[in-house]
């Protein structure tokens, strides 16, 4: 009978890999909690309309990459990203009534039907932050600081922070008009995606990775528009203050005027953090401000900013983490006494196992040396004397002690 294999674009996370994943998750909780963020967990599937309205129906995610299915006359979608879901939860649960800022962090699987690539699968995992209620650039600076400090806590230091400002909807319209005018003579030479984006969302043209399109966008007249100061005075002031905060915090950054991010809901600040240790797919964090999204999804007008990181890419940069050994392995041919002592150790907060198959004594010791720091030997003499022999498997030192002393010794 043929073996049923894991689906393309998905991956088993095996026990040997879990120490690395636990490390990433634990550091997220440690770092984000320091900034007052609370964890939130939203459903893996949502109404399809949430992503069409939130992510934007002109994005590749909504047009090409969502796992959508019909159930009882409803259209449901596996979440392709988590910002829209967190915003939905923020609105539905009345979190706007909480004192601002409301800081929420999450971790979990996302789903996109796209070509699998290094560090990205069709089922992948993200960790991220969403901060609601603050329109000032202090929130932008703190969100970027959280991202940088989380990456540093993971041991990643070879990083580049890229910044841009998309401006507000009003001042952005002028830029779109000028950009379309200067690109129009080359429209027939752009890729199919860019031709579609030209009318629906011209800013997304700058996000294209096609070599041919990038060559066109590099033309002097197009670069002149891209590098022009199109944002209004208020948006420019917001961006300058953000850069001042980052300078004061010692966060190095670069201005990237081509940085627009792939989703429709962004305004003003957008940013990416890139690792110089990866190849062309080198972004490990992306985020920005989305001040209109809460209102667009039916909530009160609430400014917001956040970021997300792909955990598979983070894992590829961090490398392996050694699996933590058991504290104790009970070695005994008296299975009943071994069961009892092992459970007593566990009840006292000590990780422990014993041999379920009652192998020969020497085989049990061999197993103990591979999986535990200590062998707790329970032979006939130890049982009759209410004692145990404890062997340090790292130094080979051993001693016999009263049974009740084992708990304090191993703790």
The model carries a pTM of 0.85
Which pLDDT belongs to residue 295? 93
Number of H helices and E strands in the chain, helices first, is: 16, 16
The per-residue pLDDT for range 225-261, each reduced to its tens digit, is: 777 777 888 999 999 999 999 999 999 999 988 787 6
Report the DSSP pairing between strands 283-289 and 267-275. antiparallel
Name the band, by pLDDT with cuts 50, 70 and 90, for residue 275. Answer: confident
114 vs 280, higher pLDDT: 114
Stretch (H or E) spanning 75: strand 74-78
Name the band, by pLDDT with cuts 50, 70 and 90, for residue 222. Answer: confident
Which pLDDT belongs to residue 206? 76
pLDDT at 58 over 60: no
In terms of phi and psi (left: phi > 0; alpha: psi -120 to 50; beta: otherwise), the region of 22 is alpha
The superfamily (CATH) of domain 326-410 is Anticodon-binding domain (3.40.50.800)
Which pLDDT belongs to residue 272? 94
Which pLDDT belongs to residue 76? 92
pLDDT at 119 over 60: no
Name the band, by pLDDT with cuts 50, 70 and 90, for residue 262. Answer: low
Contact 44, 109 (CB under 8 A): yes
pLDDT at 73 over 60: yes
Contact 45, 82 (CB under 8 A): no
pLDDT at 338 over 60: yes
> Is omega for the bond preceding 101 within 30 degrees of 0, making it cis?
yes
User: How far apart (Å, rounded) are the C-alpha atoms in residues 90 and 194?
Assistant: 34
Which pLDDT belongs to residue 264? 64
Contact 354, 332 (CB under 8 A): yes
For the packed helices 311-318 and 18-34, what is the interaxial angle rounded to 10 degrees? 110
Report domain 15-168+231-318's class.
alpha beta
Report the DSSP pairing between strands 267-275 and 398-402. unpaired
User: How far apart (Å, rounded) are the C-alpha atoms in residues 92 and 321?
Assistant: 39
CATH 3.30.930.10 occupies which residues in the chain? 15-168+231-318
CATH 3.40.50.800 occupies which residues in the chain? 326-410
Percent with pLDDT over 90 in the chain? 58
CA distances for 278 relative to 137, 184, 246, 314, 318, angstroms: 30, 35, 25, 10, 12
Which pLDDT belongs to residue 283? 84
The per-residue pLDDT for range 146-176, each reduced to its tens digit, is: 999 999 999 998 888 999 998 888 887 778 8
The per-residue pLDDT for range 33-56, each reduced to its tens digit, is: 999 999 999 999 999 989 888 776
Which pLDDT belongs to residue 93? 97
């Amino acid at each position: 009978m043929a073996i049923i294999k894991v689906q393309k674009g998905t991956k088993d996370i095996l026990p040997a890999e879990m120490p690395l994943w636990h490390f990433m998750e634990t550091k997220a909780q440690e770092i984000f909690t320091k900034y007052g963020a609370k964890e939130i967990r939203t459903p893996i599937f949502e109404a399809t309309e949430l992503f069409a309205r939130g992510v934007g129906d002109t994005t590749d995610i909504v047009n090409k990459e969502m796992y959508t299915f019909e159930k009882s006359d409803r259209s449901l979608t596996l979440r392709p990203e988590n910002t829209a879901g967190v915003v939905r939860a923020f609105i539905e649960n009345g979190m706007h009534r909480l004192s601002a800022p409301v800081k929420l962090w999450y971790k979990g699987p996302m789903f996109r039907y796209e070509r699998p690539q290094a560090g990205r699968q069709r089922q992948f995992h993200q960790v991220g932050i969403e901060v609601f209620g603050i329109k000032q650039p202090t929130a932008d600076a703190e969100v970027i600081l959280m991202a940088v400090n989380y990456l540093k806590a993971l041991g990643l230091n070879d990083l580049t922070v890229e910044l841009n400002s998309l401006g507000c909807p009003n001042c952005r319209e002028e830029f779109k008009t000028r950009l379309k005018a200067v690109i129009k003579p080359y429209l027939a030479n752009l890729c199919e995606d860019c031709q579609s984006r030209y009318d629906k969302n011209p800013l997304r043209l700058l996000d294209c990775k096609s070599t041919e399109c990038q060559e066109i966008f590099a033309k002097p007249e197009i670069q002149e528009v891209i590098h022009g100061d199109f944002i209004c005075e208020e948006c420019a002031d917001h961006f300058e203050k953000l850069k001042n905060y980052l300078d004061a915090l010692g966060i190095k950054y670069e201005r990237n005027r081509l940085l627009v991010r792939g989703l429709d809901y962004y305004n003003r600040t957008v940013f990416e953090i890139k690792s110089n240790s990866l190849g062309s797919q080198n972004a490990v964090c992306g985020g920005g401000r989305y001040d209109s999204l809460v209102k667009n999804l039916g909530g009160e007008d609430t400014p917001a900013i956040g970021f997300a990181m792909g955990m598979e890419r983070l894992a590829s940069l961090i490398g392996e983490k050694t699996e933590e050994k058991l504290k104790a392995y009970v070695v005994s041919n008296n299975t009943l006494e071994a069961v009892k002592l092992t459970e007593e150790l566990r009840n006292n907060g000590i990780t422990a196992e014993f041999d379920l198959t009652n192998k020969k004594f020497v085989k049990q010791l061999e197993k103990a040396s591979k999986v535990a720091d200590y062998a707790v030997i329970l032979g006939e003499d130890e049982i009759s004397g209410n004692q145990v022999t404890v062997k340090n498997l790292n130094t080979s030192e051993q001693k016999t002690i009263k049974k009740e002393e084992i708990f304090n010794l191993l703790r």
